[in-house]
Amino acid sequence: MLVARRHRYTGEVSYFRCWAPGDVSLGTLVEVICRRWRIEETFQLAKGFTGLDQGQVTCWNSWMRWSLFSLIAAAVLALTATAVHDAAEDEPALVPLSCPELIRLLRALVLPPPVRDREHVLHWTAWRRHHQAVATACHQQRHHRHDQP
């Protein structure tokens, strides 16, 4: 079965190819399509807020670890948001807690603030500059060797 949906404002048409083993009502198909949309939005949020799309790995084990930790973080955020939403159902003046808002709360209330004393900042700027100097020298040596006949 093919279901077509026209966007209310832009007029853009979206098509959904659906299959079911038996007869299914149009309302049930629309409900499944809407759930799929929510799942895709939640997955995009998980990629953005837990870094699932930011892993720079070169082997299978590293990729699996990175993906696993990102998905665990997304699950913890989703379960925490659901638990807070269930506990706060008697407060109609607040919208449900979202994952971005939960991240803000965790950063503000749970995670320790970064160290910003003078010695710490100067140590890390010196380390970064030394690392960049070594990398630049190695890069120049490699190009110099490559340019030699």
Contact indicator for 49, 74 with CB cutoff of 8 Å: yes
- Predicted pLDDT at 43: 77
- Predicted pLDDT at 12: 92
26/77 same-domain check: yes
Helix/strand/coil (H/E/C) assignment for every residue in the chain: CEEEEECCCCCCEEEEECCCCCCCCHHHHHHHHHHHHHHHHHHHHHHHHHCCCCCCCCCHHHHHHHHHHHHHHHHHHHHHHHHHHHHCCCCCCCCCCCHHHHHHHHHHHCCCCCCCCHHHHHHHHHHHHHHHHHHHHHHHHHHHHHHCC
Closest C-alpha among 16, 54, 52, 50 to residue 34: 16
122/104 same-domain check: no
133/83 same-domain check: no
Task: Read off the pLDDT of residues 106-147 as tens digits, 9 standing for 90 and up.
Answer: 778 877 777 778 898 899 899 999 999 998 899 888 888 877
89/149 same-domain check: no
87/149 same-domain check: no
pLDDT surpassing 80 at residue 103: no
34/55 same-domain check: yes
24/52 same-domain check: yes
Domain that residue 53 falls in: 2-113
Task: Read off the pLDDT of residues 63-75 as tens digits, 9 standing for 90 and up.
Answer: 888 888 888 888 8
109/121 same-domain check: no
14/27 same-domain check: yes
**Average pLDDT across the chain, whole number:** 81
Domain count, the chain: 2
Task: Read off the pLDDT of residues 35-86 as tens digits, 9 standing for 90 and up.
Answer: 887 788 877 877 777 777 777 777 888 888 888 888 888 888 778 877 776 6
